[in-house]
Amino acid sequence: MGTPFSKLKAGAKTAPVRDVVGMVLGAGFQQGVPAVRLARKNGVDELVAGGFLELPGTLPVTPDDANAMPVGNWQVPRAFRAPHIAFAIHSEQAFLRQSPETGEKGDPHMRSVSRATAPDLPPLTVGLPEFQAAWAARLFPEGRRPTACSIQVAATAAISGFLHNPAFRKSGGNAVAMLVFPAYTALAAFQDSLLVLYREHPVGFRHVREAVSSKMRVDEAMADSVLDDTMVDLIPMIEPVLRPLFRQLEISVDYLARRRDCPVEAFFIYGLPTGFRYWSSLFKRILGQTPVFCRPLDSLAGSPSAALPGTHPLAASYTGQLFMAALGAAFAVLDDNA
């Protein structure tokens, strides 16, 4: 399945990529930097390696920061030394939107690309500050594995991974996915499996965690534990946070039905590490629908490597969701050669 948009290329590829590492930068996860290595053999994607790496992963926020931060000396464990690496970048300065304008009107400080995702819609345009893209491209030393071949923003990478989810493939192609990140949630709507609507709302799983932590006067780790417990009803704490997000989703669903003659009955929540029971309950109350919970690892269904022990970071209920963008970045590169 092809990707719905272009990548912010880091370098030229002389041959199809069949072995690539996907890595997340700028997320600030306390576990480390999420990374996965995928190899495509005879049409089957195999997980060669996956886990959190002990790398800085901190994104420069100004050109001066980028110049001051060391590059060219990153190394990864042997299992992750694929020929190529694809970065998925969390940046508050990045953008992803549907607009008739291409790029940032020629702004030399932004690296941007556009691609039409449906014939009757404005193109989807993605951009990242040039200094951040250039910094990422230089992290690994030249002449050693891996070599940067692709730079993507986290949302585009997540969409690429979601397109491989078996539940989405069985949905008929008319669906809405909520891609949940720490600081925001991306709403991606599909018609006949084509991306036709993209919106972002500034509520992510971190805001829900903070609401519970504040109301119950517990630390964030305890809040995460409570979110997966059934002993306390957290709906009164969570509803004020999630209702505006679900209202935005409701507006998007109405647009699809009225303007595009695309009634949506398949809804997915992807990337949510904890609290799905509460999200689902509120979702059903507000929209009258039951969302399907998706895991990044589900996108490897059919591959022997999908049968990971529950203790593996990609299989664990909480940490597995944090690989959403890493896995998607790798899929995007493999699909680009399909």
Coil/strand/helix, residue 95: strand
Does 1 have pLDDT greater than 60? no
Does 302 have pLDDT greater than 90? no
Integer angstrom CA distances of residue 153 from 184, 225, 274, 314, 332: 14, 30, 23, 21, 12
Average pLDDT, integer, range 166-184:
95
* Pairing verdict, β 33-41 and 19-25: antiparallel
- Contact between residue 221 and residue 211 where contact means Cβ atoms under 8 Å apart: no
Confidence at residue 212, expressed as pLDDT on a 0 to 100 scale: 97
Confidence at residue 6, expressed as pLDDT on a 0 to 100 scale: 39
| Per-residue pLDDT tens over the stretch 185-240 | 999 999 999 999 999 999 999 999 999 999 999 999 999 999 998 888 999 999 99
| Per-residue pLDDT tens over the stretch 127-170 | 999 999 999 999 999 889 999 999 999 999 999 999 999 999 99
| Per-residue pLDDT tens over the stretch 91-123 | 999 999 887 765 445 577 899 988 888 888 888
Confidence at residue 149, expressed as pLDDT on a 0 to 100 scale: 94
Confidence at residue 241, expressed as pLDDT on a 0 to 100 scale: 98
Confidence at residue 263, expressed as pLDDT on a 0 to 100 scale: 93
Beta-carbon count within 10 A of 239 CB: 16
